[in-house]
Amino acid sequence: MKFVIAQMEHETNTFSPVPTPWESFGPNGAYLGAEAYRAMKGTRTPIGAFIDLAEKENAEIVTPVAGFAYPSGPVDPAAYDRFCDLICEEAAKGCDAIFLDLHGAMVVKDRTGDGEGTLLAKVRAVSPDTPIAVSLDLHANVTEQMVSNSDVIAGYKTYPHIDMYETGELAGSVLLRYLKGEVKPVMVWGNVPILAQTLKMNTDEGAMKDYANAARQVQRDGALAASAFGGFPMADIPQAGMSTIVITDGDRAAAETARDYILSVAWSKKEDFIWRDEPLEQAIAKAKLLGQAKQMADGPILLLDHPDNCATGATQDTMHVLKEALRQGMNDIAVGPIRDPEAVDILIKAGVGAQVTLPVGGKMDMPAINRKGEPMELTGVVRAITDGEYTITGPQFTGVRAMMGRTVVFSTDAADIVITERLQEPWDVGVFTSVGIDPTRKKFLLLKSRMYFRPVFLPIAKDAVYCDGVGVGSSDWTMFNYEHLRRPIYPLDDAFDAATGQNQTS
Ligand SMILES: [Zn+2]
């Protein structure tokens, strides 16, 4: 047998001004051909699982492309076309099955709000009879086009995502059973009009836990696969929001009943999917009090500037939380990373030990939320200059080499600020330790983080305070002007069918 296996992953924040060219999809753009195989073989990702399954079957494997870009604005159409062409060319040559590791929330600039569905329709057009298995992220915005142009779809059931490999394994193994004639997958999907917020999608707690568990229950009861998607809300497309896919062995009625059950769990708890922030001034005042009470051995207090989290597509350079912290007289703060290549350049030219006054951060405008970049004038000393590279010690992405670009530690009287050339999610203590800052010894850590601080920084912290700063990852829906989203939708509107909430199924 011959299998085509590929990856195309991007979560598009349509409000983000951060561009997404081909180069964003890997160290030199997405991996191609044999390079894609070498890069992804052995990884705990869906495509890693697809490769393992194919090798167990002794299948010939073709990997035209594998690319993963961090969340940012709509994808460059030339990059998208390249992915589609590479995958379609291999599919058109003929194969026994196609396995695709996709995200499910890709928007392509001036082209399509449904990057994955459009790709799948193209693949099906060139290879109409070839079975297709797809893995999706929990933050997928599922569409009819995705479902009708594939045979098996499975999504992550965890956030933070720790079941990527298992999801690929599930989708891939159901497709293999189908190829061998052991099962006849029937796939149905549906959505509910809830624009859930990613801050409320932690699958370890609350309504999201119940919703994910409902999908697990359906699988235990005999479905081939059941997936409960939270959706990605920072996407101004019709199908943004919560959805569910269920696959059974030949039993459409059972699949529909199970789908309706999972969606009803989400609908009945819809208030629990909405995050409500306290005003920034109040959050900082609370953090300051916690700081006064803490002992040295307690560990730092985390200030979580979640609206400016780059893993949500934000610019990672807004200064509002630091400004408020300094206004309220806080000190002993480690901040980072802030992305500001211009400041890095100026500070490296000044050299270690130099005292400099310069505008820091606020270099990118955010037209979609009507905000101009607002740099903050700071005076401080260049403490350290590094190449910004470090190896992640875990527990997530363990062993992966992280590259922040050239990096500077700039210290004012109150704060040590890590300034980088590239976007960098604070998913490891290495963002501080690699530049000589011991995060356990600071009173406060200001992190541009939303979810990934949990396994890394929470265990060393005394406490954590969510800070409603400014950024295109904000959970304040009033900042965003949705023009293409289907309406009505909760919580933006309240006039719709309150009985089921369901607004599309098939
Ligand atoms: Zn995700």
Between the CA of 454 and the centroid of ligand 1 the distance, in Å, is 15
Measure 164 CA to ligand 1 centroid, in angstroms.
10
For 127, 217, 258, 273, the CA distances from 220, given in Å and listed in that order, are 33, 5, 12, 25
Give the single-character DSSP code of 248: E
Can you give the pLDDT at residue 478? 85
How close is the Cα of 313 to the center of ligand 1, in Å?
Answer: 12
C-alpha closest to that of 111 among 73, 76, 69, 146: 76
Pair of tokens at residue 241: 């929001």
CA of 122 from ligand 1 middle (Å) equals 25
The beta strands (E) that lie in 172-224 are given as 185-191
User: Ligand 1 mean position to 117 CA, how many Å?
Assistant: 18
Calculate how far, in angstroms, residue 185's C-alpha sits from the geometric centre of ligand 1.
Answer: 26
- pLDDT tens for the chain, 506 residues long, are 999 999 999 999 999 999 999 999 998 999 999 999 999 999 989 999 999 999 999 999 999 999 999 899 999 999 999 999 999 999 999 999 999 999 999 999 999 999 999 999 999 999 999 999 999 999 999 999 999 999 999 999 999 888 999 999 999 999 999 999 999 999 999 999 999 999 999 999 999 999 999 999 999 999 999 999 999 999 999 999 999 999 999 999 999 999 999 999 999 999 999 998 899 999 999 999 999 988 877 899 999 999 999 999 999 999 999 999 999 999 999 998 999 999 999 999 999 999 999 999 999 999 999 999 999 999 999 999 999 999 988 777 778 888 999 999 999 999 999 999 999 999 899 999 999 999 999 999 999 999 889 889 999 999 999 999 999 999 888 889 999 999 999 999 865 554 455 556 66
Q: What is the pLDDT of residue 496?
A: 55
Residues near 319 by beta carbon (within 8 Å), at least 6 away in sequence:
338, 360, 361, 362, 374, 375, 376
How far away, in angstroms, is 227 Cα from ligand 1 center? 14
Tell me the CA–centroid distance for residue 396 and ligand 1, in Å. Answer: 14
Distance 78 CA to ligand 1 centre (A): 24
Cα(2) to ligand 1 centroid in Å equals 30
* Residue-level pLDDT at 501: 57
User: Measured in angstroms, how far is the CA atom of residue 397 from the centroid of ligand 1?
Assistant: 14
Rounded to the nearest angstrom, the distance between the alpha carbon of 138 and the centre of ligand 1 is: 5
C-alpha of residue 105 to centroid of ligand 1, in Å: 9
Calculate how far, in angstroms, residue 232's C-alpha sits from the geometric centre of ligand 1. Answer: 8
Position 421 scores a pLDDT of 96
Ligand 1 centroid distance, CA of 269 (Å) = 21
> How far does CA 484 lie from the centroid of its chain?
21
| pLDDT in the model for residue 499 | 46
State the distance from the centre of ligand 1 to the C-alpha of 369, rounded, in angstroms: 22
HEC string of 120-155? HHHHHHHCCCCCEEEEECCCCCCCHHHHHCCCEEEE
Question: How many angstroms does the Cα of residue 71 sit away from the middle of ligand 1?
Answer: 9
| Cβ neighbours of residue 467 closer than 8 Å, sequence gap 6 or more | 280, 283, 284, 287, 303, 304, 305, 306, 321, 324
pLDDT of 11 reads 97
Q: How far is the CA of 425 from the centre of ligand 1 (A)?
A: 14
Q: What is the pLDDT of residue 27?
A: 85
- The correct answer on CATH 3.40.50.2300 for the domain covering 2-273 is yes
Q: Which two tokens stand for residue 234?
A: 């920072």
338 Cα: distance to centroid of ligand 1 (angstroms): 22
**How far, in Å, from the CA of 416 to the mean position of ligand 1?**
31
Q: 137 C-alpha to center of ligand 1: Å?
A: 5
Largest CA distance in the chain: 72
- Give pLDDT, residue 504: 61
C-alpha 171 – ligand 1 centre gap (Å): 17
pTM value surpassing 0.85:
yes
Sequence spans of domains, the chain: 2-273, 280-474
- How remote is the CA of residue 208 from the centroid of ligand 1, in Å? 14
Burial of residue 234, with CB atoms counted within 10 A of its CB: 0-12 exposed, 13-18 middle, 19 or more buried: buried
